Amino acid sequence: MGFEGELPLHHSSFLSSEGGELGKELSDELDLSFLPDELSVQDAPPQTGGSAEQQDSGFTGEGVSVEDMSGAEHNQASPFCPMTPMTPMTPMTPASESSGIVPQLQNIVSTVNLVCRLDLKSIALQARNAEYNPKRFAAVIMRIREPRTTALIFSSGKMVCTGAKSEEQSRLAARKYARVVQKLGFPAKFLDFKIQNMVGSCDVKFPIRLEGLVLTHQQFSSYEPELFPGLIYRMVKPRIVLLIFVSGKVVLTGAKERSEIYEAFENIYPILKGFKKV
């Protein structure tokens, strides 16, 4: 499975869904080239600016970043990069067989700095799909339909983007929000985009004896049926928290990189197999 399958690759549907959304603001093509990737950190995916000008922006931007990301992953030697089927699948531990199950990403939380003070009231009044309740929370909550995400936009110019299913979608969504803010008249930039948290889930397809697991892995596990029905496993390397349920479903969270999720699952799978029920 390639994650490109999840992204809308059809130009017309992509743009029309976009066009319907923000009303008067997006009558023209969605051109994200104006927003160069200003990054204070050196080792970052390259600019999407150049290639975007030639074609419809979103895709080539993603295309470029995808290949670069797979290039970066070569260094990590992660055997599970479903993005590029061309990458040779070298197993990390030849002694044990791989599980064959790949965790699916369910949520990505990222932050970006727009580098300008914002007037939240004017944003809330002008933008569609924006809610602002200063007594309840000091940020504008904006939502877009494609990719389906929610953003918290603060008056300092910092923004949190949640709900995307992949790193590229999160970046794309953040750019769209920045575009919206820019169209409302603020000199928005796109500085320091960083993914803060990634959540993945998968199913090992067999029931698990949580009581056994908590006995042997006491220093990492916490299983209190009175508090939560799942076992909370805090893996040390990589530093990931896994919620393991009796049904065999596993939720992995706390990752900054996709590879951490995969690595954590590969680490836990043989342990879980040892505690299969019956």
Partner 1 sequence: GDRVIDVGSEWRTFSNDKAAKDPSRVGDAQNPLLNGGDLSTVISRGTGSASFDEFGNSKYQNHRTMSSSDRAMLNAFKEITNMSDRINLPTNIIDRTNNLFKQVYEQKSLKGRSNDAIASACLYIACRQEGVPRTFKEICAVSRISKKEIGRCFKLILKALETSVDLITTGDFMSRFCSNLGLPKQVQMGATYIARKAVELDLVPGRSPISVAAAAIYMASQASAEKKTQKEIGDTAGVADVTIRQSYRLIYPRAADLFPPDFKFDTPVDKLPQL
Q: Which residues contact partner 1 (rule: CB under 8 A)?
A: 207, 211, 214-215, 218-219, 222-227, 229, 245-247, 277-278
Least spacing, CB of residue 228 vs partner 1, in Å: 9
Least spacing, CB of residue 199 vs partner 1, in Å: 21
Least spacing, CB of residue 138 vs partner 1, in Å: 24
Which runs of E-coded beta strand occur in the chain?
104-113, 130-132, 139-144, 149-154, 158-164, 191-203, 221-222, 231-235, 240-244, 249-255
The helix or strand, by DSSP H or E, that contains position 30, with its residue range, turns out to be none
Least spacing, CB of residue 243 vs partner 1, in Å: 13
Name which of 183 and 249 has its Cβ closer to partner 1: 249
Name which of 13 and 222 has its Cβ closer to partner 1: 222
Residue identified by tokens 């931007």 is: 61
One-letter-per-residue 3-state SS of 102-137: CCEEEEEEEEEECCCCCCHHHHHHHCCCEEECCCCC
Name which of 154 and 245 has its Cβ closer to partner 1: 245
Name which of 133 and 222 has its Cβ closer to partner 1: 222
Residue identified by tokens 């699916």 is: 104
